[in-house]
Amino acid sequence: DTGVSQDPRHKITKRGQNVTFRCDPISEHNRLYWYRQTLGQGPEFLTYFQNEAQLEKSRLLSDRFSAERPKGSFSTLEIQRTEQGDSAMYLCASSYRTNSRDTQYFGPGTRLTVL
């Protein structure tokens, strides 16, 4: 399968614990995005990388969230001291951006439940 993969698919944690999610993008894609989606809403942008550089981070994103893409391939998203409000689907997408195109291909998501 050459699509975007995410691990784990589901995560249940207790409030206050740290969690880390992994995303493996499509191999030739230079951009990688993280989104959060809650029920009935569209994807909410969190951050994105061009190769290994983190180019933008949402102002809505708390300091408890951090993302890395150390070698410009896979990425990790860490949430520290989780809160119940962090419960959501965390989606990763990748794209190969050109001047005219930036189609994003999504992974299956990681569903986080904070108890």
Partner 1 sequence: GQQVMQIPQYQHVQEGEDFTTYCNSSTTLSNIQWYKQRPGGHPVFLIQLVKSGEVKKQKRLTFQFGEAKKNSSLHITATQTTDVGTYFCAGSNYQLIWGAGTKLIIKP
- Cβ proximity to partner 1: between 83 and 102 the closer is 102
Residues contributing to the site for partner 1 (CB under 8 A): 40-45, 48, 56, 91, 93, 100-109
Nearest Cα neighbor of 3 from 87, 91, 89 is 91
Least distance CB 95 / partner 1 (angstroms): 9
Euclidean distance between CA atoms 114 and 82, whole angstroms: 7
- Cβ proximity to partner 1: between 14 and 100 the closer is 100
Least distance CB 83 / partner 1 (angstroms): 23
Beta bridge partners, 67, equal 77
Cβ distance 11 to 110 under 8 Å?
Answer: yes
